[in-house]
Amino acid sequence: MYNYNILNDKELTGLLQQADEYAFTEIYNRYWDKLFTVAANKLRELDEAEEIVQDIFVSLWKRREDLADINSLSAYLSVSVKYRIIKLLDKQAQQQKYTDYTQYVKTLTDDSTQQWLEFEELRTRLAGFVADLPEKCRLVYQLSRDSGFSHKKIAEELSISEKTVEAHLSKALKTLRTRLSSFLL
């Protein structure tokens, strides 16, 4: 029977490779507090730190037969805890990005509905303002903006000069801008 607390890490690792539970317990007792302190200083939740350390020791026991290449048990365990912390923090960052993205999309969806309602109200108001224009002015505006006719085509359709088309369109646009600007304030 060994006095495990006086054995060095190399000796404990050798016994651990032979599935010596007492060697494992000594390693656990020797390093648990150190590993937990490192993890707790880097993480927000103590439960997460404890879980990481416990996982390291579970992994150490499962991989005990592969420990022959380890020169320093202390360094191996320190790297293990740091790696698991980085892995957890990366996972949390990815989750946060996803949460932020879903909130952003939700905001866009909510905002787009509001924008659509405002657009519909603006369109209804504009249609009312266009309907209030004098007949020729309204007709020229509708042919230009709704039907996409050129000034020349509108002049031909209404049997008026292009200058008259420009005058009616200019008057319509000025009137609509004035009425819409009071609505948009």
Encoded tokens for 154? 């509108």
The pTM assigned to this predicted structure is 0.55
pLDDT band at 49 (very low <50, low <70, confident <90, very high): very high
- Average pLDDT of span 57-67: 90
The answer for residues whose C-beta is within 8 angstroms of residue 30's C-beta and 6 or more apart is: 12
Reported as a single tens digit per residue, the pLDDT across 152-161 is: 998 988 899 9
pLDDT (0 to 100) of residue 34 = 95
Residue 116 pLDDT exceeds 90: no
* Domains present along the chain, CATH in parentheses: 4-98 (1.10.1740.10), 132-184 (1.10.10.10)
Does the pLDDT of residue 69 top 90, yes or no?
A: no
Summarised one tens digit per residue, pLDDT across range 13-33 is 888 889 989 999 999 999 999
| pLDDT tens, residue by residue, 1-12 | 678 878 888 888
What is the per-residue DSSP string for 63-85? TGGGGGG-S-HHHHHHHHHHHHH
